[in-house]
Amino acid sequence: MTRQRRAPTSDEIRLWREVMRDAAPLRRSGALPPPPPAPPVAEPPPTPSPAPASVKPPVKPVPAPLAHPPLVFGARAGLDRRTDDRLRRGQLVIDGRLDLHGMTQAEAHGALNAFVVRAHREGRRTLLIITGKGSGGTHLGTDREKGILRVAVPRWLAEAPLRPLVLAIRHAQPQHGGGGALYVLLKRQRP
């Protein structure tokens, strides 16, 4: 079964000539003479045509599989039960601490990114991130009541560039800050 070639349109011919204008032939023998210049073509203005009722909407592209599964707060995906229990109980040695008190969201986000990336590069595993518990009071029912950083930090850890480095996150034990702090377990560095 052979495929029939379609003839190029005048626009395609014009584009080809424009692209090849500065090209030099490799060999002179047997070279074809250049084609005559195409006469200028006046393009008619596009007319909107109503879409037929039988046209199906475009198919949405299927998203590529995630390189890293979503980071779910408190889930033990990728952890053995013993390590998960020790992390939840605050029994793992804390390799680094970051206190975000008094920082704006922008400052805290930058500090968190730099701290986690540096800690991973240095081979640290268990981090304590102190977010604070929030102001409470007059902002009942809002993120401010819960603490802006307390809500934002788990989300930031679940996004690029930190998600590939983070294995698990848990609320800290009271001796480490309780609900105003998080344990972050980093993945081991691959050689």
Residue 5 within a domain: no
Residue 179 to residue 146: CA distance in whole angstroms: 10
Q: Is residue 174 part of a domain?
A: yes
Q: Is residue 118 part of a domain?
A: yes
Q: How far is CA 33 from the centre of its chain?
A: 53
Q: Determine the straight-line distance between the first and last CA of the chain, rounded to whole angstroms.
A: 53
In a domain, 33, yes or no: no
CATH number of 173's domain: 3.30.1370.110
- Predicted TM-score (pTM) of the model is 0.59
45, part of any domain? no
pLDDT value for 115? 95
- pLDDT of the chain along its 191 residues, tens only? 566 778 888 888 888 888 787 777 666 555 556 666 666 666 666 666 655 555 555 666 655 445 666 676 666 667 788 988 888 888 899 999 999 988 999 999 999 999 999 999 999 999 999 998 876 544 445 545 568 888 899 999 988 888 888 888 898 999 998 889 999 999 887 76
The pLDDT tens digits for 41-75 are: 666 666 666 555 555 556 666 554 456 666 766 66
CA dist list (Å): 6 to 2, 13, 19, 33: 13, 13, 20, 23
| Residue 191: per-residue pLDDT | 64
Is residue 47 a part of any domain in this protein?
no
Reference 154, options 174, 135, 180; nearest CA is: 180
Within the chain, where are the H helices?
Answer: 10-20, 81-88, 105-121, 143-146, 148-157
Strands 181-186 and 126-130, how do they pair?
A: antiparallel
For residue 14, what pLDDT is reported? 86
Structural domain of residue 143, as residue ranges? 81-186
**How many domains is the chain built from?**
1
96 in a structural domain = yes
For residue 116, CA distances in Å to 13, 27, 49, 140, 173 come to: 55, 59, 55, 32, 20
Residue 159 lies in a domain: yes
